[in-house]
């Protein structure tokens, strides 16, 4: 029994041979560098996703307001009775169905009212024509020319519509798309 002790004793004090693995210091440094690289990559990826979402929201707002502008332009193209003047935020005219049509900006949306040609639009007549994800910052109509040949300036009316549009997204504050189009009615001048 004593001899077994003697053979085990010196083996316990012998140094272990070094194996080819990483030490604690190298492992901690490698994990730290990996963590830094992952956090940089995740930050860049999240910024790219946010930018993509903002671009999609602006494109959708632009698409929706294009439909609204097209509706207004089609109706104005066949309208008459535009009153000339400077830049105004509301306009009215008589459309092809002999209705008096009003367009105006109210609470960051464009509204339309159509009433009989001798009536005046009430608040209940107005309907919102812009999509809920669109915020209209300004809307201006400029009418040049007066259609009546005998009493006017003998020029075909030309209506310029200017507006600023933004997406109703909190991340897109300050990103306004400025649009402008001009329409001229198709009706001939009075003689």
pLDDT, tens digit (0-9, with 9 covering 90-100), for 117-138: 788 888 889 999 998 888 999 9
pTM of this prediction exceeds 0.75: no
Span 24-66, pLDDT tens digits: 888 999 999 999 999 999 988 999 998 888 888 888 888 899 9
Beta bridge partners, 173, equal: none
Domain that holds residue 100: 29-183
pLDDT for the residue 191: 45
42 occurs within a structural domain: yes
5 occurs within a structural domain: no
Report in angstroms the alpha-carbon separations of 172 from 10, 99, 134, 164, 176.
75, 38, 12, 14, 9
pLDDT for the residue 189: 54
67 occurs within a structural domain: yes
Give yes or no for a contact between 15 and 23, defined as CB atoms under 8 angstroms apart.
no
Distance CA 94, CA 59 (A): 33
14 occurs within a structural domain: no
Distance CA 112, CA 95 (A): 12
User: How many domains are contained in the chain?
Assistant: 1
Give yes or no for a contact between 113 and 127, defined as CB atoms under 8 angstroms apart.
yes
86 has pLDDT over 60 = yes
175 occurs within a structural domain: yes
Q: Is 36 exposed, middle or buried (0-12, 13-18, 19+ CB in 10 A)?
A: exposed
41 occurs within a structural domain: yes
Percent of the chain scoring above 70 in pLDDT: 79
152 occurs within a structural domain: yes
92 occurs within a structural domain: yes
């Amino acid at each position: 029994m004593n001899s077994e002790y003697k053979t085990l004793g010196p083996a316990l004090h012998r140094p272990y041979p070094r194996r080819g693995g990483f030490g604690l210091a190298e492992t901690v440094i490698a994990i730290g560098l990996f963590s830094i690289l992952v956090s940089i990559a995740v930050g860049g990826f999240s910024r790219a996703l946010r930018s993509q979402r903002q671009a999609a929201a602006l494109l959708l707002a632009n698409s929706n307001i294009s439909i609204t502008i097209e509706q207004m332009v089609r109706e104005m193209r066949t309208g008459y009775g535009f009153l000339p003047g400077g830049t105004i935020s509301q306009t009215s005219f008589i459309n092809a169905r002999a209705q008096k049509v009003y367009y105006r900006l109210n609470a960051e949306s464009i509204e339309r009212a159509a009433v009989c040609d001798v009536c005046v639009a009430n608040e209940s007549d107005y309907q919102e024509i812009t999509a809920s994800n669109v915020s209209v910052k300004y809307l201006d109509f400029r009418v040049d020319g007066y259609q009546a040949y005998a009493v006017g300036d003998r020029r075909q009316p030309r209506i310029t519509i200017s507006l600023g549009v933004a997406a109703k997204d909190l991340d897109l504050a300050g990103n306004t798309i400025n649009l402008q189009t001009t329409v001229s009615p198709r009706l001939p001048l009075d003689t």
